Structure 1
Amino acid sequence: MPRRQKDLALLQSILRPTSSSCSRQSSIRDFSVLNRPPPNYPGHVPLTFIERSALAVGSAVASLLNPRRADMIAALGEATAQPFFITKLRNRMLASPTGRRILRDRPRITSKTMSLEHLRKLPENSVGRTYAAWLDREGVSPDTRDWVRYIDDEEEAYVMQRYRECHDFYHALTGLPIFVEGEIGLKAFEFANTGLPMTALSLVAIVKLKPQERQRMFNTYLPWAFSNGLGSVDLINIYWEEELETDVDDLRARLGIEPPPDLRETRKKLREAQKRASKDKKT
């Protein structure tokens, strides 16, 4: 065979895809709405890029229209966490001895794994009792967290689930309530601490606040959130189950968190002042 023909044959063999490559490319092409790969863990729903993008946009709009739609906020968190942000958060856990233990043990935070009756009997000002008191005051339960479905990697799905189930501990630690103003303040704190996009996107809900609430957010709670979120340790690496009997003030000091002004008390005093002003105006 002439040299030129040999060179051409060699080039064709290099450019020609192998059977495994063809199979891989075919598998990628075949991934569609009607032909999904098998789930990577129970409940997992693999999504195409277009589906994930649509989920992100749709859930963002729904969350803005109704900030109480926890299911839409959860979907937004999962749709926007991949491929970079949730991996980065997992890597921060892997870099921490406690984070690695959490990933190995896979603890869950529910009313079955963490008895509220027991937590209510813990010493005054302990982390566990503060957490239970916050749940009772706000009328919420640790069992209301949605299961992760749209994160592809199984370990990263657990990281998202762990973040989600620890959310109420962040509430208890900071004292922020669950109404919109308190949630926005906590989401800003979480964004500074975790870097998850959903927590930043949730701040768009500021536009729905009343002018006085918006001013309070910009003047007080956002500066507090970014300062404390950036300055504290990675909260994803806190083994809350091992801190239940710790004094909550000691834990805040160890984590580098200063509680913000009591939002419920601030709103209460403002309402009382407005009532007095209205009464004085009538007289």
Structure 2
Amino acid sequence: MPDRTVGRIYADFMKDNNITADSRLQVQFIEDPDLAYVMQRYREVHDLVHATLFMKTTMLGEVTVKWVEGIQTKLPMCIGGGIWGAARLKPKHRQLYLKYYLPWAIKTGNNAKFLQAIYFEKRWDQNIDDFHREMNIVPLTKA
């Protein structure tokens, strides 16, 4: 994929983190096939959210993504991940989290289009800046 496309950003994210689209285990303990599919899709989209929000898989990046997801989905596991993950941040990252990442995550979670409903697979060749504009995502900037 060309540089600055959703597909390239996702592929680079996957390569950098040594994972594949099939790395996620199948959902367990959900008997209803429709609900199981929704949770499986959540798992698949999670990595796409990381990539398109430019959030690394560090504790700080994970907590930030969990807040965006928690605000949008209201899933207890996302909200819990945001709360309990933030409690584990080291002082330096906690300062960055409180000053930049958390306010940005709250704004993004509230203002962006519902990320779980995006058909990412049809957007591989879309420029990331156009994607951000369409989804109402303002990338995080630190002053």
Task: For residue 138 of structure 1, report the CA deviation from its aligned partner.
Answer: 2.6
Distance 1:239 1:231 in 2: 18
Match of 1:135 in 2: 14
Match of 1:126 in 2: 5
Trace 1:204-243 onto structure 2 (pairs within 5 A).
204-243=84-123
Letter aligned with residue 79 of structure 2: A
RMSD of aligned C-alpha atoms?
1.6
- Output the TM-score relative to the length of structure 1: 0.48
Match of 1:156 in 2: 35
Higher relative contact order (CA 8 A, sep 6+): 2
Match of 2:80 in 1: 201
Task: For residue 131 of structure 1, report the CA deviation from its aligned partner.
Answer: 0.6
Task: For residue 141 of structure 1, report the CA deviation from its aligned partner.
Answer: 2.2
Distance 1:217 1:224 in 2: 9
Task: For residue 230 of structure 1, report the CA deviation from its aligned partner.
Answer: 1.1
The reply on whether 1:251 has 2:131 as its aligned counterpart is yes
Q: Percent identity?
A: 36
What is the DSSP-based 3-state SS (H/G/I as helix, E as strand, rest coil) of the residue aligned with 1:144?
A: coil
Distance 2:29 2:139 in 1: 34
Q: Could you tell me whether the CA contact under 8 Å between 1:128 and 1:243 is conserved in 2? A: yes
Distance 1:128 1:205 in 2: 29
Match of 2:48 among 169, 185, 193: 169
Distance 1:195 1:246 in 2: 28
Structure 1: runs of 5+ lacking an equivalent = 1-121, 263-283
Trace 1:1-283 onto structure 2 (pairs within 5 A).
122-203=1-82, 204-261=84-141
Letter aligned with residue 181 of structure 1: L
Count of residues paired in the alignment: 142
- Output the TM-score relative to the length of structure 2: 0.92
Match of 1:79 in 2: none
Letter aligned with residue 200 of structure 1: I
**CA deviation vs aligned residue, 1:224-283 (integer Å, no higher than 9, x gap):** 001111111111211111111111110111001111138xxxxxxxxxxxxxxxxxxxxx
Q: Which has the higher helix share?
A: 1
Q: Could you tell me whether the CA contact under 8 Å between 1:173 and 1:259 is conserved in 2? A: no
What is the DSSP-based 3-state SS (H/G/I as helix, E as strand, rest coil) of the residue aligned with 1:142?
A: coil
Task: For residue 135 of structure 1, report the CA deviation from its aligned partner.
Answer: 1.4
Distance 1:216 1:222 in 2: 9
| Structure possessing the higher radius of gyration over alpha carbons | 1
